[in-house]
């Protein structure tokens, strides 16, 4: 697949996720709105990391560091939401 085609699919995916974010702001999910929006944000970040940062083609150490950062961010977010 050509690089331009990958970027176009990523752009379309990011626009679809943006539409989901806007749509979720109009729904009353009784406390689940934050969780849904965090999941959508994580999907956006994963899409950006895979397509624009070429994380899928990096060596194992770079991917391990990125995964460790993601786990640490999840831990900090969970601790924030508990309080």
The alpha-carbon radius of gyration of the chain (Å, integer) is: 15
What tokens does 60 get? 């194992």
| pLDDT reported for residue 11 | 96
| pLDDT reported for residue 35 | 86
Which CA distances in Å does 44 have to 18, 33, 48, 61? 9, 16, 6, 22
Q: What is the block-wise mean pLDDT of the chain (83 residues), using blocks of 10 residues?
A: 90 96 91 88 93 89 92 91 80
| pLDDT reported for residue 58 | 86
Give the torsion sign (CA, 6, 8, 12, 18): positive
| pLDDT reported for residue 81 | 82
| pLDDT reported for residue 57 | 87
pTM of the model: 0.79
């Amino acid at each position: 697949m050509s690089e331009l085609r990958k970027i176009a699919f990523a752009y379309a995916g990011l626009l679809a996720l943006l539409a989901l974010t806007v749509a979720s702001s109009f729904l009353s999910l009784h406390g689940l709105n934050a969780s849904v929006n965090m999941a959508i944000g994580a999907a956006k970040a994963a899409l950006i990391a895979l397509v624009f940062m070429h994380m899928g083609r990096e060596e194992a150490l770079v991917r391990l560091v990125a995964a460790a950062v993601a786990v640490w961010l999840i831990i900090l977010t969970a601790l924030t939401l508990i309080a």
